[in-house]
């Protein structure tokens, strides 16, 4: 059943809820990350580029939007120069770019690959962390949570496995499907992240030999001085 206009934001965008506002210098990096998300639409009939819609949604959440309706309202109020910088296109020579309608935002956010959007946003947040100039060793905590109020069509609750940085930002998250468990998504969750010199903590459930072997093949172990 389609979500109503007041539906909460997708969990992928929820990673941005506690992040600081977007700085102008960070705009290009966000667009580059979001450009990696595949477009589920047919080429014919596309009115707005996918990266533009996703960037608007991300900026709206960074500004405090917590529902699909709020995202659409924020986009509708955004000035034309911001719409242009976020990738909006001008359909007429004498007019600036226009924001997508709420129905367009809702349909796209419901159809995109949630894991791909998780990866893109998590990678951008990780980019932000690496540019802060922190001198302490970065840390990452992996934990699972059941999302209250979110249920699948079959009535089962949505369960997520998330990786959170030391400053409280969710850098990656994956849905744990009803017929499996957290172990199956542990490696896909962390594979896109740069874990160089990072301390990763997790529950005993994930102390798996297969997990350790996958890291040893792809990363050089680090030792404390």
CA distance 67 to 76: 14
Domain ranges of the chain: 11-114, 136-218
How far is residue 104 from each of residues 55, 100, 110, 124, 192, measured CA to CA in Å?
Answer: 14, 6, 10, 24, 29
Per-residue confidence (pLDDT) for residue 5, from 0 to 100: 47
Long-range contacts of 187-190 (CB under 8 A, 24+ apart): 187/211, 187/214, 188/115, 189/142, 189/161, 189/162, 189/163, 190/140, 190/142, 190/163
Q: Are strands 199-201 and 139-151 parallel, antiparallel or unpaired?
A: parallel
Backbone angles phi, psi at 191, to 5 degrees: -55, -40
Asked if 10 and 54 touch (Cβ cutoff 8 Å), the reply is: no
Lowest pLDDT segment from 40-49, 105-114, 188-197: 188-197
Q: What is Dmax (Cα atoms) for the chain? A: 63
Most confident of 37-41, 128-132, 137-141, 217-221: 37-41
pTM of the model as a whole: 0.62
State the average pLDDT for the chain: 80
User: For residue 93, is pLDDT > 70?
Assistant: no
Across 117-122, average pLDDT: 88
Asked if 119 and 172 touch (Cβ cutoff 8 Å), the reply is: yes
CA distance 163 to 157: 20
Percent of the chain clearing pLDDT 70 (strictly above): 84
Q: pLDDT by residue (tens digit) across 11-55?
A: 778 878 777 777 888 888 899 999 999 999 888 878 899 999 999
Among the listed residues 130, 123, 202, 203, the one whose alpha carbon sits nearest the alpha carbon of residue 167: 130
């Amino acid at each position: 059943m389609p979500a109503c206009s007041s539906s909460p934001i997708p969990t992928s965008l929820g990673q941005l809820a506690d992040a600081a506002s977007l700085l102008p210098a960070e705009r290009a990096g966000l667009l580059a990350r979001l450009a990696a998300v595949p477009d589920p639409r047919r080429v014919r009939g596309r009115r707005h580029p996918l990266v533009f819609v996703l960037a608007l949604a991300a900026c709206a959440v960074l500004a405090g939007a917590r529902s699909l309706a709020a995202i659409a309202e924020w986009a509708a109020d955004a000035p034309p120069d911001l719409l242009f910088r976020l990738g909006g296109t001008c359909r007429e020579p004498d007019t600036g770019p226009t924001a997508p309608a709420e129905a367009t935002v809702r349909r796209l956010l419901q159809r995109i690959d949630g894991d791909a959007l998780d990866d893109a946003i998590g990678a951008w947040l990780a980019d932000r962390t690496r540019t802060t100039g922190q001198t302490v060793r970065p840390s990452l905590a992996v934990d699972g949570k059941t999302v209250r109020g979110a249920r699948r069509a079959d009535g089962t609750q949505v369960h997520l496995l998330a990786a959170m940085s030391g400053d409280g930002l969710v850098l990656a998250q994956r849905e744990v499907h009803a017929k499996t468990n957290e172990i199956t998504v542990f490696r896909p969750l962390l594979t896109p992240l740069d874990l160089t010199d990072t301390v990763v903590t997790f529950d005993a459930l994930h102390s798996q030999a297969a997990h350790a072997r996958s890291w040893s093949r792809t990363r050089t172990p680090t030792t404390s001085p």
